[in-house]
Amino acid sequence: MVKSFRFIDESYTCPSQNMALDEALIENFQNDELPILRFYTWDKDAFTLGRFQNILDIKNFENFGENFTRRTTGGGLLLHGFDLSYSLIIPTSLLTNKSVKESYEYLCQFLLHFYANLGFEASFAKEIMSDKLAKSAFCQVGYEPYDIIIKGKKVGGNAQRRTKKFIYQHGSIPLHVDSRIFSSVSLEELGKNLHVKEAKELLKSSFETTFNTKLLSTTLNDTQLQSFETLHVNKYNTKEWKYESISAKP
């Protein structure tokens, strides 16, 4: 990989802020700068929709509340508030020799390392339950090839967006039990009760070891902060972005 990554650990927890910040980092990402790893958490009642998903198509969607936004990646409705999430932004040039599938498998290695350090044998869904792979309106229910499985249960998933300039990947680690979850399993249910601070440190260590790199703690610069504020107000927190189906848009 590279000798160092820029590491960002911001305190935002609302969905619209979290997704606006990711896009601000993407929007201002330059090929000659360090790749980025970001950690973040969520409000207890938060959820996100996939880019091409329409919440009006989800039965009893009003039961999930109003604290949500749409992601820039695909997939289904994803419940948050009990999880630690990560985002990766790296130049596409770093993985030019890998296909989309190969880049997923490569970038997810630090997650497998994290779970292994907790004493779990983690695998990709494609390796042990290929017959059950199926999309769902709810991320925690469906099985994608690079979802992570422990003891026959889905622990977490990952999504990716690629351009000629960058690869953006994000995913979540479910730390605690949540009554809204109806399929996937948390680390707490598997016998590991981690505080979010402890989980962050273990995940950072796994990332540095897996990719033989160093994480350099940084904050947003003025340009990124301005983009974040604009995107939060004018896009991710608007009814148009949250409710309008955009599947037909380019």
- For residue 1, give the amino acid letter: M
Q: In sequence order, what are the beta bridge partners of 240? A: none
Is residue 14 annotated as a catalytic residue, yes or no? no
CA 18 from centroid of its chain's CA atoms: 10
Neighbours of 222 (CB within 10 A): 7
Q: How far apart are the first and last CA of the chain?
A: 32
Burial grade of 192 (CB within 10 A; 0-12, 13-18, 19 or more): middle
> CB of 136 within 8 A of CB of 76?
yes
CA–CA dist 205, 226 (Å, integer): 31
DSSP annotation string for 86-106: EEEEEEGGGGTTS-HHHHHHH
Catalytic residue among 20, 112, 139, 155: 139
Q: Quick one: CA torsion of 83, 102, 117, 140, rounded to 10 degrees?
A: 30
Which residues form the catalytic set? Answer: 139
